[in-house]
């Protein structure tokens, strides 16, 4: 799985396209706010003015610079996705490996819990929680992570169980390697492509979730994320501001989601070896 799949990935056009766009997004997320020449909360400009050299994307109805909003919004949305994605992935890896290693009652309990969580609509729980408690987005991100670990945990458990009996792990165990050694030296590092796939998929759905929740008006309207910008821009879609106000955040969101989709698709292809030579 190791070197071959990496080489194969590097030749896959979808993986190249996906990771290039993802890197671009990451750059915007990390460095974006430094490029913003205005504070996104500064309300001292003239409302709804057209793009100019001073305000590249114009000014919104609340007299705030749209480019500054956009650069900060990208960070908020992607940050939510990355946080929720990594927490969900961490939980998934931990629970999947634990289930595969311990077996027995613990495995049945964890996987049963996973089935229950899979049968619950995550977005509905998030809507209820956001509606009743108005929590910080960080809390919602962790809640989403808690609801989304089962898919990764199931995949990791299945692969770990297969790998436990593979030709290089069995001898290690016969030579007296402890479960902890096998877990940390063999299972944990050898499933890394599975992590990448789970991570990309989870970040993708978390980004979409954040955009939808913000669009529904469930997140703090002062926290400028892409969903919030779209929500407010959409109110004025019949004015000329649509080109500088409505379309840019939509393009950013699309870029973000598209890069992650490309990564997921290329990794999925890698995981179904039956399809590799048949792809085209």
217 C-beta neighbours (distance < 10 Å), count: 12
Q: Taking the complex as a whole, how short is the minimal distance between the CB of residue 99 and another protein, in angstroms?
A: 15
x/- string (CB under 8 A) for another protein, residues 97-136?
---------------x--xxx-xxx-xxx-xx--xxx---
By beta-carbon proximity to another protein, the closer residue of 50 and 131 is 131
Q: Taking the complex as a whole, how short is the minimal distance between the CB of residue 41 and another protein, in angstroms?
A: 23
The C-alpha atoms of residue 87 and residue 58 are separated, in whole angstroms, by 37
Residue 226, CA distances (Å) to 24, 105, 145, 274 in order: 17, 44, 20, 39
- Binding part of the chain for another protein, among 46-54, 151-159, 186-194, 257-265 by CB under 8 A, reads 257-265
Token couple for 91: 């939980």
By beta-carbon proximity to another protein, the closer residue of 169 and 225 is 225
Residue 213, CA distances (Å) to 18, 29, 101, 216 in order: 25, 20, 37, 5
Binder of another protein out of 11, 167, 168, 238 (CB under 8 A): 238
Residue pointed to by tokens 């007299």: 63
4 C-beta neighbours (distance < 10 Å), count: 9
By beta-carbon proximity to another protein, the closer residue of 166 and 254 is 254
Q: Does 208 bind another protein (CB under 8 A)?
A: yes
Q: Does 57 bind another protein (CB under 8 A)?
A: no
- Beta carbons of 100 and 161 less than 8 angstroms apart: yes
Binder of another protein out of 68, 141, 169, 230 (CB under 8 A): 230
Sign of the C-alpha dihedral, residues 216, 218, 219, 222? positive
Residues present in the chain in total: 280
* Interacting residue ranges for another protein, rule: CB under 8 A: 14, 112, 115-117, 119-121, 123-125, 127-128, 131-133, 208, 211-212, 215-218, 230, 234, 237-238, 242, 246-247, 250-251, 253-254, 257-262, 265, 272, 274-275, 278, 280
């Amino acid at each position: 799985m190791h070197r071959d799949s990496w080489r194969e990935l590097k030749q896959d056009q979808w993986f190249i396209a996906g990771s290039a766009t993802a890197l671009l997004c990451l750059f915007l997320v990390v460095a974006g706010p430094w490029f913003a020449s205005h504070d996104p909360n500064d309300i001292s400009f003239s409302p709804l003015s057209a793009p100019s050299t001073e305000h590249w994307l114009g000014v919104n109805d609340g007299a705030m610079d749209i480019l500054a909003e956009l650069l900060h919004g990208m960070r908020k949305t992607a940050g939510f996705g990355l946080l929720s994605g990594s927490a969900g992935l961490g939980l998934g890896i931990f629970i999947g490996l634990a289930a595969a290693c311990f077996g027995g009652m613990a495995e049945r309990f964890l996987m049963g819990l996973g089935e229950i969580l899979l049968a619950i609509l995550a977005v509905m729980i998030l809507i209820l929680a956001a509606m009743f408690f108005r929590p910080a987005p960080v809390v919602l991100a962790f809640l989403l992570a808690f609801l989304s670990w089962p898919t990764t945990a199931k995949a990791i458990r299945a692969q770990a169980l297969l790998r436990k009996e593979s030709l290089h792990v069995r001898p290690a165990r016969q030579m007296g390697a402890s479960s902890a050694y096998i877990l940390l030296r063999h299972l944990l590092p050898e499933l890394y492509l599975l992590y990448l796939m789970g991570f990309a998929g989870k970040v993708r759905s978390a980004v979409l979730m954040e955009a939808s929740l913000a669009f529904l008006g469930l997140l703090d309207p002062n926290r400028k994320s892409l969903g919030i910008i779209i929500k407010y821009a959409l109110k004025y879609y019949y004015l000329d501001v649509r080109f500088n106000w409505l379309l840019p955040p939509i393009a950013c969101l699309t870029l973000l989601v598209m890069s992650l989709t490309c990564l997921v698709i290329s990794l999925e292809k890698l995981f179904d070896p039956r399809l590799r030579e048949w792809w085209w």
